Structure 1
C-alpha cells in the first residue's frame, strides 16, 4: 500500500500498478486503481493494453479493462489504429471491437482487416461489421466483397460468398462451389440454392471426365457433401486421377457417401502422395480386420516410404490382437523416433483378445522384447493374462 502511494513519481512502475489493481487487499487495490485512473492516457494505454487485458481475466481485474476502454474511446483514430497490428491477438480484438462500436472504420477498411488478420475472432468481427454497415447499398459492395472473396482465410471468404446474395450477385457464388474450404463450399451451395440452382448438377458435370486435369479437389468432395450414394459411380474413376488432391478427395467422398470397398481402396495405401494414403487409411480403419495382415506387416518395413509405414501401422494397431502387438514390437527399435513412440504406446495399451489362444508362447516372447516399457510387476501381470506364466 505504501509502495503504491509513492509509485506516482515513477512512470516505469505503472505496469506493476496495473497488477496491483487486482490485488486481494482492498487498500492496495483501491490506491492502485486511483493512481491508474489518474496516470493512464492514450499513449500509455496502448503500451499497457496487453497487460491490462491479461490482468482483466483475474478476479477483480475488470477495473483496468473498463479504464482502458474509456481511454481508447477518447483516443484519436491513429492512436487506436496502432493496436490493430499488435502482436497480441487479444489486444487486436479489443481495438477492433472499439472501432466497430464507434464506427471509426469504413466498410472497405473492415473488409481489408478481415482478410489480413490471422485471428478468427477478428475475421468474424470485421467481416460481419463490414457487411452490416453496407445495408442495401449495392454499389458499395464493389469496394467490400472483392477483399472478402480473395481472403486466404476461409471464414472471411465464406462471409464474402454469403454477401453475394445480399448484393444480388448470387451467380458469382458458382466458382466457390469448388473451394478448398468446406465452410465456403457450404455457403456457396446455400447462395446457389436460394436463387433456384442445383449445386449437385454443377458438381456432377465437373466429375464426369475422370482424367480431366481441370477437375478441382473441392468439386470432388463437394459432390459427396450434397450428392447421394449413386454418385459414388463418378468418384471411383477419380481414384486414378493424375492430381493427388483429386484422388484424396475421391477417397474422402466415398467415405462420406458410405460407399467404401476395402478391396478396391487397399492398393491406394501404396500411393506416392501422403494425402491420398492418409485419406485411405481413415476410410479403411473400420475394415482393418478384413485387410491381409501379412500384406500390412510387409509395409511397415523401413524400406517403405514413411507415410506408407505410418498408414500400415495405424491399420495394424486398429486391427489389434497378436498381429497388432507383433507390428508394434517390430517398430520399437525403428530409426524413426515418432514411429518408435507410437509403437511403444501401442504395446502399453495392448490387451489380449480371442486370437491369443494357441499363441501364448509368441505373445510371451513379444512382451519380453518390450519389457523396458513395463515394471516387473506389470510385465508379470500381462504374461499371466495371456496364460504364459500360469
Structure 2
C-alpha cells in the first residue's frame, strides 16, 4: 500500500486502512519512512507520505498544510521524536477534536469507520487502541494521559493544546459529558482489543462506574486473566464492604476462568451459602477445588469423607472427583484407587493412575504393561509415566512390538517413550522403525531422535549392535539424508553421499 502510494497512486490510503486496527497505521508510518529513505532525496507529493517522511521539517510542514488530516496519523505524530513536530501535532489534534462535531464529522466518521452516532466520544473510542499502542514510546504517554483525564471527568487538555496559555477548564464545552463518558467506558470495556479492555477496566473502577453485579458479570465473561482479576478484586471488595449479593456471587461462579470461579467459591461463605461447597469439590481447576475444601472445613465438614463417598458411588464418580480425592488421599486410600483401574470410563482410570503415582504407590509391571494397550490415550500415557523409572528392566522386544503399525497411535507413543527411557540399540531400532509412522507427532519425535543420534557410541555396545548398525544407518539415511544425520564428516564412511535406496 505504501509503495503504491509513493508510486503515484490516487486511491485514498486512509480509506484502505479503515478497520485494520492500530498496527496497520503504525506499520504504514514505518513502511513509508523506510521506502523514502531507500528512495533518497526527491519531491513527495502525497500528503500522507509527507506526514510520515523521515525529515521532521517535512512532517511539520505537512501538518500545517493539511486541513483535515487523518486523526490516526496525527496521533502518531503526537509521539514524534522531534519536539516541533510533536507540539504542532498535538495542537492540530486538539483543533480537530475541538471542532469535531461541526467541521470534521463527515471525514472522521468515514476514516474511523464510525457508526451513525458521530459525537466526540465515538471518535475517541475508535482512537483508543492506537493511543495505547503509542503509550509505550518515549513521548507516547501524552495522549494516554489526556484520554484518561477525559474519561475520568477531571479535564480535557485536547482542546486547550491548540490555544496555549488558557486553562483547560475554559474549554469545558468540548469536554465529554457524563453520559458520553459512561457510554465510552461501556464500549471500551467490551472492546475486542485486550489492552483497551485493561485500560478501560482500570479507569472504570477508578471512577466507580459499575456496581457489584456489573463488575462480577464483567469478570465472568472476561477472557483476559489480568482484566478479569481487576474486576474480580473489585467485586470482592464491594461484597466485603456492602454485604452479600447472590447475583454477584453466582456471576463469579459461572466464569470460565478458574481464578474467578475460585473467588466466587470463597465468596460463598460471606453469602451464607457454605452448603454449596461440595458442588465445587469436583471442579476441573485445582484452585477451585482447594477453595471448596477450605470452605467445607470452615463449616466443620470433611473433604476426605465427601470425596470417598463420591468414589464409592458408581453414579457419581468422575475424573475430577478422583483427582480431588488424590489431593487429600492418604496411603491407606491406595486400595480404593487401585480398584478404580477397572472402571469403564477412561478418564477415571487415568485419574486413578495419576493419583497412585502422586501418592508414591508402586504397581507391578504385570498391572501396568497391559494398560499401555488401553483404549484411552490418557491411561496409556499415565501407565508409561509409572513405568518410566524402571524402563531399564522391561522387555525391549515386547515394547518394540507395541510400536508396530497395527497398534493404536497412543500405544505406540507410550511404548516409544519407554524405549527412550531404556536408551541404546532398542531405542535406535524403534526410532528408525517409526520414521515412517502414520502419526505425525510420533514420526516427528522419531526423526528428532535419529537426527541427533550418536552413531559412534552404538559401535561400543558390542558385536550384535555393530552388526545391525549398518542396516539401521542405511534406512535412516534413506529417510532423512546423510546431511540431516550429521554424517558429512563422520568416520562411518558415508561422507557427502546417501546410501543407495
Measured against the shorter chain, the TM-score band is 0.7 to 0.9
Superposed counterparts of 1:63-102, under 5 Å: 63-74=142-153, 75-102=180-207
C-alpha displacement of 1:275: 2.6
Q: Give the secondary-structure state (helix, strand or coil) at the position aligned to 1:313.
A: helix
Q: Please say if 1:121 is aligned against 2:229.
A: no
CA displacement, residues 90-126 of structure 1 (integer Å, 9 cap, x when unaligned): 1111111111111111111111111112211222211
CA displacement, residues 166-185 of structure 1 (integer Å, 9 cap, x when unaligned): 32332321221111111110
Superposed counterparts of 1:213-224, under 5 Å: 213-224=315-326
- Counterpart pick for 1:56 among 130, 135, 139: 135
CA distance in 1, matches of 2:265, 2:145: 36
**Aligned partners of 1:45 and 1:71 also within 8 Å:** no
Q: Please say if 1:228 is aligned against 2:284.
A: no
C-alpha displacement of 1:381: 6.1
**Aligned partners of 1:115 and 1:152 also within 8 Å:** yes
Q: Please say if 1:108 is aligned against 2:108.
A: no
Q: Please say if 1:178 is aligned against 2:234.
A: no
- Unaligned 5+ residue runs, structure 2? 1-55, 98-119, 154-179, 493-501
TM-score, length of structure 2 as denominator length? 0.70
Corresponding residue of 1:246: 348
CA displacement, residues 291-334 of structure 1 (integer Å, 9 cap, x when unaligned): 33222212222222222222222232233221111111111122
- Counterpart pick for 1:315 among 400, 418, 431: 418
Label 1:30 to 1:288 Cα distance change in 2 as closer, same or farther (>3 A). Answer: farther
C-alpha displacement of 1:137: 4.1
CA displacement, residues 213-233 of structure 1 (integer Å, 9 cap, x when unaligned): 320221211111122222222
C-alpha displacement of 1:132: 0.9
Label 1:143 to 1:26 Cα distance change in 2 as closer, same or farther (>3 A). Answer: same
Aligned length: 382
Label 1:76 to 1:285 Cα distance change in 2 as closer, same or farther (>3 A). Answer: same
**Aligned partners of 1:4 and 1:17 also within 8 Å:** no
CA distance in 2, matches of 1:123, 1:376: 47
**Once structures 1 and 2 are overlaid, which stretch shifts more, 96-105 or 30-39?**
30-39
**Once structures 1 and 2 are overlaid, which stretch shifts more, 233-242 or 371-380?**
371-380
Q: Give the secondary-structure state (helix, strand or coil) at the position aligned to 2:80.
A: coil
CA distance in 2, matches of 1:274, 1:59: 52
Q: Give the secondary-structure state (helix, strand or coil) at the position aligned to 1:304.
A: coil
CA distance in 2, matches of 1:198, 1:261: 29
**Aligned partners of 1:313 and 1:327 also within 8 Å:** yes
**Aligned partners of 1:299 and 1:308 also within 8 Å:** yes
Q: RMSD across aligned C-alpha pairs, in angstroms?
A: 2.7
Corresponding residue of 1:135: 240
Corresponding residue of 1:361: 467
Which structure has the bigger radius of gyration?
A: 2
**Aligned partners of 1:207 and 1:220 also within 8 Å:** yes
Q: Please say if 1:302 is aligned against 2:408.
A: no
Superposed counterparts of 1:336-351, under 5 Å: 336-351=439-454
Label 1:214 to 1:30 Cα distance change in 2 as closer, same or farther (>3 A). Answer: same
Label 1:326 to 1:23 Cα distance change in 2 as closer, same or farther (>3 A). Answer: farther
**Aligned partners of 2:216 and 2:231 also within 8 Å:** yes
**Aligned partners of 2:310 and 2:321 also within 8 Å:** yes
